[in-house]
Amino acid sequence: MQPGRARSARVDDLDEPDGGDLLVQTLDIGICGTDLEIVSGRYGWAPPGGERLVLGHESLGRVLDAPAGSDIQAGDLVVGIVRRPDPVPCPNCAVGEWDMCRNGRYTEHGIKELDGFARERYRIDPAFAVRVDASLEHFGVLLEPTSVVAKAWEQVERIGARAHWEPQRVLVTGAGPIGLLAALLAVQRGLETHVVDLATTGPKPDAVGALGAMYHTGSVADACAGADVVIECTGVGQLVFDVMASVAPGGVVCLTGVSSGGRTLSVDAGALNREMVLENEVVVGSVNANRRHYEAAAECLRRADAGWLERLITRRARLERFADALERRPDDIKTVIEFPK
């Protein structure tokens, strides 16, 4: 795919991979909103000196070859970590917190200046591969999006711990993969969980119901006014302001949606400021994940009901039909590209 050039994605022959000590065979690649942005030419950067970027940042692979004495062995299932520390490195990247990179010079497989995992085989440094339990099988492809929400929840809880913290109610905006996984982690924490989305039919309401959470299609205020935690997963400007206005005193709003700009809203900034100050509210942005979050996410997926996870993967396309996977259909939650096994 040529970043910046819409619909330039194609299957191509590449050289045998070089690089890290682990040789991995790709099994599945998950497609998310970021991939669709890249495919439409609005996001993504090729590796320096080239024009082409291999797609794929949500992956599941099987190790074909591993160095002797490594924790990871041939046959293990692994997921590649998306982000790499910046070359300086900034103080955060220097301590493995590349998800909090301070200078923006991080790189990301399949997104920013590093080829992705949508290759039959790739090589990776074991420090950037996460082993997943064999019992997770093909659900391992959900590890990367789950790592993103594991980080979001960690941020919320760290902020909550600034004072007495006993959250009861959670609102998740958006019932796509990130929203549903954020709701899974809320339910796993024993919290009363509400999810609001536009869809009135299709698999989303059922997926939320099967989790034991409540599904809403109305306004944020109707869905759950006064939530202690809001995980905003749409990036829709109006919703961002709606949840800021509706969160409970002392509550935390975590923004995870990467919006495209260009829409102007009119907001009573003074009233919003007054409420946030007088009620000690916090709005925090959260992106990406470091190794700690991948490991937490692996544990959340291991504890989740396999039947429920299966509901999230609504469409699978074989590699030769990759173009089908790169278009969004109304009832899609997560689409996966299957590689030849």
Look-up of token digits 């291999």 = 54
Compute the least distance from the CB of residue 13 to ligand BGC, in Å: 27
Q: What residues pair up with 255 in beta bridges, in sequence order?
A: 232, 285
Nearer to ligand BGC, 34 or 314 (CB): 34
DSSP string, 283-312: EEE-----HHHHHHHHHHHHHS-HHHHHHH
Nearer to ligand BGC, 80 or 167 (CB): 80
Compute the least distance from the CB of residue 287 to ligand BGC, in Å: 5
Nearer to ligand BGC, 108 or 242 (CB): 108
Give the count of beta carbons closer than 10 Å to the beta carbon of residue 291: 17
Compute the least distance from the CB of residue 321 to ligand BGC, in Å: 22
Nearer to ligand BGC, 143 or 220 (CB): 143
Nearer to ligand BGC, 129 or 227 (CB): 129
Nearer to ligand BGC, 288 or 335 (CB): 288
Compute the least distance from the CB of residue 163 to ligand BGC, in Å: 30
Nearer to ligand BGC, 100 or 148 (CB): 148
Look-up of token digits 């619909």 = 7
Contacts of 54 (CB under 8 A, 6+ apart): 1, 14, 110, 115, 116, 117, 118, 119
Compute the least distance from the CB of residue 28 to ligand BGC, in Å: 15
Rounded Cα–Cα distance for residues 135 and 142 (Å) = 14
Residues that bind ligand BGC (CB under 6 A): 32, 34, 57, 82-83, 108, 111, 144, 148, 258, 287-288
Give the amino acid at 269.
Answer: A
Compute the least distance from the CB of residue 318 to ligand BGC, in Å: 23
Residue nearest to ligand BGC as judged by C-beta position: 34
Look-up of token digits 């206005």 = 245
Closest by Cα among 256, 306, 253, 304 to 145: 256
Rounded Cα–Cα distance for residues 54 and 101 (Å) = 23
Give the count of beta carbons closer than 10 Å to the beta carbon of residue 277: 9
Compute the least distance from the CB of residue 43 to ligand BGC, in Å: 7
Beta strand pairing call for 107-109 and 113-114: parallel
Nearer to ligand BGC, 148 or 208 (CB): 148
Compute the least distance from the CB of residue 238 to ligand BGC, in Å: 22
Contacts of 172 (CB under 8 A, 6+ apart): 179, 182, 183, 186, 193, 194, 195, 196, 213, 230, 231, 233
